[in-house]
Structure 1
């Protein structure tokens, strides 16, 4: 069994923009749990523990879901915070142009459920790009305010990826499959 999720990863140029924007904040707030740039992504669907025997059907269904959605323009935008499960505080960047992304996430989640993996959590999909997780009850509002005007360049998301979580330490995500979006997938 492997702990898995499906996500989009912005291209290196956009990731560099984020690195530059958060560098002074990382320096000023070193005690927070900052997500390492190698692990940055926009989650489409969390799948949880996936049995090896489910992988072939899962891959086929995720590839089919991706083919039904054309590549889409996305950009990262202003930061926000929320309190997640277990009281974990999260600092994130928003995703600009999220409407089509939510439809893609719904298709991916439905494909996973049809393959017998993934669990609906009952909450509507909310696209975000996590920067910090903190269990310490730290008020992250000042960090969100510092990133309130951030806007990355747009890029075209043209594929989704299936990741395995290696819980570590250190935490590491490994891309194990790629699913091209839209017509390009059937060349």
Structure 2
């Protein structure tokens, strides 16, 4: 089951994701503008909003993978994508994670994503590609307010948030360059079904 693979020197840090529509992200952007974290980020206070181009929903986090094993990952995701059908996703609700550098604010996702995530994870297992086995919690990271911004009111507002439904018709294998200004690059995209 051969796959054309881009020339990637050394190893790559990978995840499998789906991306909400522009309409859904426009709606979310307008909502986050009105939150305390949105106002703090606009004012230059220690609150970093996630760049729009980075907003995605992870189905599986693979992490570091040697370049020579990239074919296994692309074969696995291609197999998984062929087994899935298009579906709708709605960004709704939200919460926080506490990390070493402070609070991470996220928007929730309402969609049948446990099924697609399971299909992807099983395909990765069959192709002997390791991934993060932690329980699946679909979300979009919208901001990293640190410890300086009180997000209690934001959490109350997020509890009532619901964006427009958007179609998901493809799955992406994405490489990431972490750091203060992370960058994501789609390695390959597959249509569902």
Normalised-by-shorter TM-score class: 0.7 to 0.9
2:115 paired residue number: 103
Counterpart residue number, 2:78: 63
Question: Could you tell me how far apart the structure 2 residues matched to 1:164 and 1:137 are?
Answer: 31
TM-score (norm 1): 0.85
Q: Partner of 1:2 in structure 2?
A: 12
Instruction: Determine which structure has the larger helix proportion and give its number.
Output: 1
- 1:98-137 alignment, distance < 5 Å: 100-121=112-133, 123-136=134-147
TM-score by length of 2: 0.83
- Is 1:32 paired with 2:43? no
How far 1:74 sits from its partner (Å)?
A: 1.1
- 8 Å Cα contact 1:48/1:117 also seen in 2: no
- The 8 Å contact of residues 72 and 129 in structure 2, kept in 1 or not, is answered as no
Bigger mean CA offset, 109-118 vs 56-65: 109-118
Aligned to 2:4: none
In structure 1, the gaps of 5 or more residues are 183-187
Judged with a 3 Å threshold, the aligned counterparts in structure 2 of structure 1 residues 87 and 28 are, in CA distance, closer, same or farther, namely closer
Q: CA RMSD in A?
A: 2.0
Deviation at 1:168, TM superposition (A): 4.8
How many residues align structurally?
178
- The separation in 2 between residues aligned to 1:126 and 1:8, in whole angstroms, is 14
Matched-pair contact (CA < 8 Å) for 1:79–1:145: no
Structure 2 residues not aligned, in runs of 5+: 1-10
| Residue equivalent to 2:63 | 48
- State which of 117, 142, 159 in structure 1 corresponds to 2:153: 142
The answer to which of 171-180 and 20-29 deviates more is 20-29
Per-residue Cα deviation, 1:21-68 (whole angstroms, up to 9, x for no partner) = 111331235311321111100011110001111111211111111111
